Amino acid sequence: MGKGLGDKLVLAISSRALFDLSESHQIYESEGVEAYRRYQIEHEDEVLMPGDAFPLVEKLLGLNTRLSEQRVEVILVSRNSADTGLRAFNSIQHYGLGISRAAFVGGRSPDPYLAAFGCHLFLSTHADDVRNALKAGFGAATLLSGGARRANSNELRIAFDGDAVLFSDDSERVYQSGGLNAFQDHERESARQALPGGPFKPFLAALHALQQEFPEADCPIRTALVTARSAPAHERVIRTLREWSIRLDESFFLGGLDKSAVLEAFAADVFFDDQTGHCEKARQVVATGHVPHGVSNELLP
């Protein structure tokens, strides 16, 4: 990861994740780039409606106000050209979002520029761009359109799956190849050996560092681990987080139970998981980002 913006938490986000661009995207799909460009220019003074990641971005930027310091940076990273991206910037100004930096890459994948900004997380609706970002070593997720949104609240709540998200997929590979008993035996034997970090470890670490800047009793950020693991596979996770010096506010070891009820009760602003089945269920109750990383996604057609 590049030095980028120093000690800030840096989120890169695509224009389609931040705003609802479904109408103009349909024009792009059906009529091509030039028709899309004309449409955006003709409508550049019309404010875009918020997209799936808008509430999350709003809350993240709100932390700067709480801290009276710029500790969170959100950068618009878009396949648009600057010409067609003007509408997005006009909408940013309309909503008063503290976003001043952008990269318009003219139809190409933006992943080469994530290191230049020192990004901790990239959110997009373009699955190939997300995969490229993950391959480059960045935390990234595909926002599933139409995901449920949490009711208005000043508290930011983020939930994570464990294997292939916060942690590497090493243990998941044991489960996929050997089954549950082999997985549990492996995790029991490796209980005191820390799990390697997954693609979202840097983002969680940056989020945890932000939490430390608030009084514990009045922290507006709350994090949760929601994993299909259960005893005896819980111990390795707990010891790993302890070794990383990272605190998760809540942890749920569900032993294969549906995660949706817990996510709804936790009232997550966003949940990140690597498995499409879990994501499809979760999106019914909370905004959800699919992390196309690890062995479960290698098996997808």
Residues forming the active site: 161
Query: Measuring CA to CA, which residue among 280, 139, 278 is closest to residue 207?
Result: 139
Query: Measuring CA to CA, which residue among 253, 261, 301 is closest to residue 281?
Result: 261
What phi-psi label fits residue 245: left (phi over 0), alpha (psi between -120 and 50 degrees) or beta?
A: left
Which three-class secondary structure string do you get for 123-142? EECCHHHHHHHHHCCCEEEE
Distance in angstroms (rounded) separating the CA atoms of residues 185 and 233? 9
Cβ–Cβ contacts within 10 Å for residue 107, how many? 9
CA dihedral of 291, 297, 298, 301, whole degrees rounded to 10:
-130
Residue 90 token pair: 């006009």
Residue labelled with tokens 């224009």: 15
Residue labelled with tokens 């030039």: 34
Q: In what order do the strands lie in the sheet with 250-253?
A: 101-104, 72-78, 9-13, 121-124, 139-143, 288-290, 270-273, 156-160, 221-227, 250-253
Which residues lie across from 251 on neighbouring strands? 225
